[in-house]
Structure 1
Amino acid sequence: MNEQTYIGINNEFLQLQELRKGDSISFDKDILSPLLFVWVRGKNSNIIHDSVKVKVENNTILCVSRFDKIKFDNLDNARIIKFNREFYCVLDHVKEVSCKGILFYGTNQLPNFQIPQEELDKFETLWKMFEIEMQSKDELQLEMLQTMLKRFIILCTRMFKSQNQLLQLDNMEIDIVREFNFLVEQNFKTIHSVQDYASLLNKSPKTLSNLFSIVSKKTPLQIIHERKCIEAKRLLRYTDKSIKEIGYEIGFEDIQTFSKFFKKMENTSPSDFKNTTLGTLTNSSGTTA
C-alpha cells in the first residue's frame, strides 16, 4: 500500500492511498466521520458490502462513509481519497459541490458510478495533481489541496447525476431530491411518512412522487422503508441488541410490528436473518469500522 497524508494545524486530514491485491480499507479511529472516494481499477474486483458480494466494474468510484461496511473479496488495484469534515465539509459547501444527499448523507446504500472512457483523463490528471501537491510544504498547500478535492467532488457529482437520470430535472427539482434523501438519512428512525417529509420540504407528497418517478424505480415511501431496513440489518449483523431493542430504535413500538415489516422487506424473520449472518463477520479484518 502506498500512502500520502496531509494533517493541518486544525486537524484537517486528507489521505491518498493506492491499494493492491491483499490490501484493505480501514477508518482511523482518531479521525471523526471521514468520507472516502474508492476508485476501483481493474476487471476482477469484488467487494462485500454489508455481507453481500458485489462485482465492481473497472474504473468505478464508490462513495463510502463510516457507516458503510465494505471489504475487498478480490481486488486488482484501487485508489482512495479519504478526508474529514475539518478538511472539507460537504454539508457546509452545498452550493459549491451539490453532493449532499447524492454522493454522501443520502439514502442510497452505497452510491457509485463508472467513469466513462472519454472522462477518464480528467480523473487521471487530477490524481497526479493531488500526488504532486502532497509534496508541497508551504502555506498554500491546504488551499490547493482543498481546491483539488472540490474539483474532484464536482466531477463525481456530474458523473453520478448523468448516470442516474438526475439531469432530466432542473436544478430546483434536483435540490428537492437531494434534500429529501438527506432528511430521510437524518430522520428515518423518527419520521416515517412521506407526508411528514413533504411538509419539511414545503412540498406536496404528490410532488415528491412525481419527481422520484422520473429518477428512480422507487417511490419515496419505498426509500424510507428501505433505509429503515438497511439499519435493521446492520444492527442485527453487527450488534448484540435484542430484536425488540432494534425494532424500537428504528421506530417500531412492538416486536410484532417490526417483525412483520422486516419479513415483508426481506422475506425472512429478524431472528432467522440474524442466525443466518451470525458467522459472516468472523473474518472481517478488511472491513471498514
Structure 2
Amino acid sequence: MRYEYKDPKLGSILGLTDDIKNDNLRFTSTENTIKFLWNRNEAPLTIIVDDLELELEPNQLVTVTYLQYVSFSKTDLPLSAILFNREFYCISDHDSEVSCNGILFFGTQDLPIISVPSDQLKKFNLWFDVFVEEFATPDNIQGDMLQMLLKRLIIMSTRLAKEQLIVKTLKNDQIDVIRKFNYLVDMHYKTKRKVSDYAEMLFKSPKTLSNLFSIYNQKPPQQIILERLALEAKRLIHFTDKQNQEIAFDLGFNDPAHFSRFFKKMTQMTPSEYRENTLEVA
C-alpha cells in the first residue's frame, strides 16, 4: 500500500506507505522530507540511523529528518511511514500550533522513540485508517484535509513525547525553552558555538539555561552544542566524499588543524582515523 499527494505548483509532497523499505524509491521524491516511522507489527524490527542500529518495538514510532541518514537494509518486517516536505507542511512556520520542534524534530538529543500506549492505540489506528481513506478522496480540498490529519498526528505524538521523554516536573514554559534550544542548536551549530549565543536568542541568561538542563538531568548546553558539531562531522566523513579540509570549512573551522584537534577531542580519533575505521567496518 502506497499513497502520495503532490502539488507540482508548490513542490509539496505527502506520502504514506505500510512498507517504506520497498516503497522508498517509488515516491516522486524522498529528499528533504521528514518521516514518521511506525512499527505496527507484533515483533520488533531494526532500522539504521546515522550508521547506528535502532530497534523499534511493536507500536513504537520514531521521527527522522532530512539531516539524518536512514537505511532499511536490516529491516525485515513491513515498516509504516508518513513522509512530507516543508512545502506541504512547514513545522517551523506552524510551531506555535504544534510545538514539536526540539522534541519530535530537529533536536540534538537521542532520537525521539515514542511508545503508543495500549489505551491510545485505538486512537492512532483510527487516525491511520482515516488518513488512508482521505487519500482515496481526491477533490479540491484533499490537500487541506491531509494537512489537518498530519497536524493531528504531530500533536498526538508531541504529547506522548512530552510525557515519555521529558521530565514531568518541568513546567510547560521550561519545556518550551529546552525544545527551542535544541531546535536552535540544530539550525545554527555551524556558526554559533557558545551557550551565550543561544541564551541571547531565547532571552535567557547562560546560567538560567545551564540550571534548567541540570534540572532536566541532561547534558550541559555547551556539551550539546559541541556534540552536535561532532555528529555532523562524522556524518560528512562517513556519508560523503568530502575531504577533511572541505569538511572543516563546511563546519565553520577556519583552520583544518583546529578541526582535527576538535574532532579528536570529541571522538578520540583524528578525522583520518575515523574515516579509515568506518571503511573497515563497511
Is the CA contact (8 Å cut-off) linking 2:112 and 2:165 kept in structure 1? no
Deviation at 1:200, TM superposition (A): 1.8
- Does residue 65 (structure 1) correspond to residue 65 (structure 2)? The answer is yes
> After superposition, where does 1:258-273 map in structure 2 within 5 Å?
258-273=259-274
Root-mean-square deviation (CA, aligned residues, Å) is 2.2
Give the letter aligned to residue 48 of structure 2: I
Deviation at 1:228, TM superposition (A): 0.3
> After superposition, where does 1:1-289 map in structure 2 within 5 Å?
2-8=1-7, 10-19=10-19, 23=22, 25-26=24-25, 30=29, 33-42=32-41, 43-72=43-72, 73-108=74-109, 110-278=111-279
How many Å separate the matches in 2 of 1:274 and 1:174? 37
Give the letter aligned to residue 179 of structure 1: K
1:148-185, Cα deviation, whole Å (9 max, x unpaired): 11110001101111111254322222221122112111
* Equivalence for 1:286: none
Percent identity of paired positions between Structure 1 and Structure 2:
41
Give the letter aligned to residue 198 of structure 1: A
1:220-264, Cα deviation, whole Å (9 max, x unpaired): 011101100110001111222222332232233333332232222
How many Å separate the matches in 2 of 1:97 and 1:145? 16
Is the CA contact (8 Å cut-off) linking 2:4 and 2:27 kept in structure 1? no
SS at match of 2:92: coil
How many Å separate the matches in 2 of 1:250 and 1:214? 31
Between Structure 1 and Structure 2, how many residues are aligned? 279
How many Å separate the matches in 1 of 2:280 and 2:26? 23
Is the CA contact (8 Å cut-off) linking 1:24 and 1:71 kept in structure 2? no
1:76-110, Cα deviation, whole Å (9 max, x unpaired): 22111111222211111111110112211222353
How many Å separate the matches in 1 of 2:53 and 2:80? 20
How many Å separate the matches in 1 of 2:137 and 2:168? 38
Is the CA contact (8 Å cut-off) linking 2:17 and 2:23 kept in structure 1? no
SS at match of 2:19: strand
Deviation at 1:121, TM superposition (A): 1.2
How many Å separate the matches in 1 of 2:265 and 2:135? 50
Deviation at 1:25, TM superposition (A): 3.6
How many Å separate the matches in 1 of 2:211 and 2:265? 25
How many Å separate the matches in 1 of 2:146 and 2:246? 44
1:88-145, Cα deviation, whole Å (9 max, x unpaired): 1111111111011221122235332222222211111100000111111222322221
TM-score normalised to the size of structure 2? 0.90
How many Å separate the matches in 1 of 2:92 and 2:274? 35
Segments of 5+ residues of structure 2 without an aligned counterpart are none
Structure 1 residues 28 and 223: alpha-carbon distance in aligned structure 2, compared to 1, 3 A threshold: farther
1:3-27, Cα deviation, whole Å (9 max, x unpaired): 011123533321110117x636459
Structure 1 residues 75 and 41: alpha-carbon distance in aligned structure 2, compared to 1, 3 A threshold: farther
Higher relative contact order (CA 8 A, sep 6+): 1
How many Å separate the matches in 2 of 1:254 and 1:86? 37
Give the letter aligned to residue 65 of structure 1: T
SS at match of 1:77: coil
